[in-house]
Structure 1
Amino acid sequence: MRKLTKVVNIGKVKIGGNNSIAVQSMTNTDTRDIKKTIEQIAKLQNAGCDIIRVAIPDIDAANALKEIKKKVNIPIVADIHFNYKLAIEAINNGADKIRINPGNIGGTDKIKIVVDAAKGKNIPIRVGVNSGSLEKDMLFKYGGLTKEAIVESALKNVSLLEKFGFYDIVISIKTSNVPLTIDSYNFISEKVNYPLHLGITEAGTLFSGTIKSSIGIGTLLYMGIGDTIRVSLTGDPVDEVKVGRQILKSLGLLNEGVEIISCPTCGRTKINLINLVKEVEERTKNIKKHIKIAVMGCAVNGPGEAKEADIGIAGGIGEGLIFKHGQIYKKVPEEFLLDEFIKEIQSLLEEDHK
């Protein structure tokens, strides 16, 4: 059962409550390079990203937001560290949300200025606390990096906003340690009703980062915790979106697009299954409707083990079987199998559309 949190609007996207889990990513372009940033945002949006964060390291980056916002129609979060003036400029230039750590942008007077500006534009603030920015007094109090230290730090920062009557808050408490992140989010979910943004910070490369993020984010979502997610990978941020959406699909939290079932191959496989799966994935990647496709290596693992698929193929010697809902539909020579399979997928989609 998903924990229902407060609904917060980030531009046109609603998070919290019964709203869908939003997939986020972050540009890795220089925000001051308006053209490249817009181009990357378009790629991320095409990949299925719901909310995009951009770095605001200086005033030029904050001013660039104004031009970027004119060319995109996806909510943009401004990532701010230390300088409250950058938060103000980002808000004035159209940011749909700002991400700050209230404790590191100055005294309460500066926090109030940021809060008043956010209130004036009706935009939320994400309080971001991670293991690398935890206050020394918290580490000393709890004898190191613990869930108690992380959560107390987050709640302390949240209270700085609540003090001035601000409650459009989203919280993130990421660490690079998967069990600690899970424990911390579980702990804070019992204490607040604000939407939680999930992620494993500095997760690593596409390979290792995908595994760590899938375990951490997936576990929390399965526990009913979390309202937005970001898979942090060292590489192309488009991959972050792909992995994030796949995590949601795997848990049944995103019922759109293609879900591919494929076997791991074995000595019975008499067809180039690895290439076949890659081709099917590539040629079906733009399908928006939810459809389950099976690509199996032989008749043993075909219609039987993949009978829950809407449509599938099973390889044979020089030919393949196309099956629908576990029932064999036709045999096709191997050289025509892929093209014929794609035709049948399109036909199935057209039938469902009627």
Structure 2
Amino acid sequence: MNSSKTPSSSPEASSPESSENGVEGGRRRATINDIARLAGVSKKTVSRVINQSPFVRDETRERIEAVIAEWGYAPDPQARGLAFRRSFLIGMIYDNPNPQYVVNMQLGLLDGMRGSGFELVVHPCNRASPTFLQDVRSFVERQKLFGVVLPPSVSEDERVAKLLNEIGCSYIRIASVELDKPEHMIVGHDRMGAAAAAQHIVGLGHKRIAFISGPESFRSSHERRGGFEDGLAESGLKLTENDIVQGAYTFESGVACGDVLLARTPRPTAIFCGNDEMAAGVLQSARKAGLSVPQDVSVVGFDDFQIAQAVWPPLTTVHTPTREIGKMAAEKLIGVERREPRDMTKTEPSLVVRESSGPVPV
């Protein structure tokens, strides 16, 4: 169709249909054919604009986008999948006990997908289930996914990466260390953040220091412990096995571990927790024991999720840009379609000092 053709007045002008065929509020839902006719271009040109192709003149792109905005047109992912012989769905497969991590990651993925025409489908799972791999495969094949984002701890499971390679599904793994080829990885460097937490605690004068780790099945648990030990070693300090209690990255486990540590004689003057949920649990445990934070015991967390500022006192913690990482993951995965180069993507945590940490009690 010639791009100089005068647009028709409305989608209804050529093909009015009943409400059973998509009329909303008296106006039929616009189709890609309607948008093409109204903008005076071909359907293929509209498709190029929707898919953000660079091969469309700016003037034409602006005209098409104006018509799309006016009529509230949105492509149907299933219809697009049929046309392109694949879906425009991105899956997030996760097994994580921290609900705020899951929410922040989803928000980040949606940020990265905004305007791309892709939609998000989430799949909670249990890595310990005997049908775990079968369930993952079924999810990917049933949804005909364009690609998958794998947060920890699913990202740390080599069996999942192998499965996705076998069935030809693109994926991005998010982890605290490099586990795959650069094009498949976003690395968070948890070890660096934990070392910064140790240096902060030691700098406040603490020597009786305890650590609450996350689950053994999470690589982040080992990286955060390793980084914390590295940071202590710089000042000649060392954790003993008696200084370490294993939690589960949950508030409840933080309370339980806090009860154990704060009942010891002598009790630690500072506790570093593998995530904020457990640190919040330690604050609860300290209140139960009649202790003040940070006057009697300092508490430091990891992640800097919303809970870190919702508790009292607000948590000193290691900030990890989870939402930003989700955005990066979506953009990197979508870049597969556009054949964009995908190097190793890395982020760095940073220490955020708030009221839950203070000088060692005199």
TM-score, normalising length: structure 1: 0.28
Q: Using structure 2 for the length normalisation, give the TM-score.
A: 0.28
Question: Taking CA–CA contacts closer than 8 Å with sequence separation of 6 or more, which of the two structures ends up with the larger relative contact order?
Answer: 2
Q: Whose strand proportion is higher, 1 or 2?
A: 1
Which structure is larger by alpha-carbon Rg, 1 or 2? 2
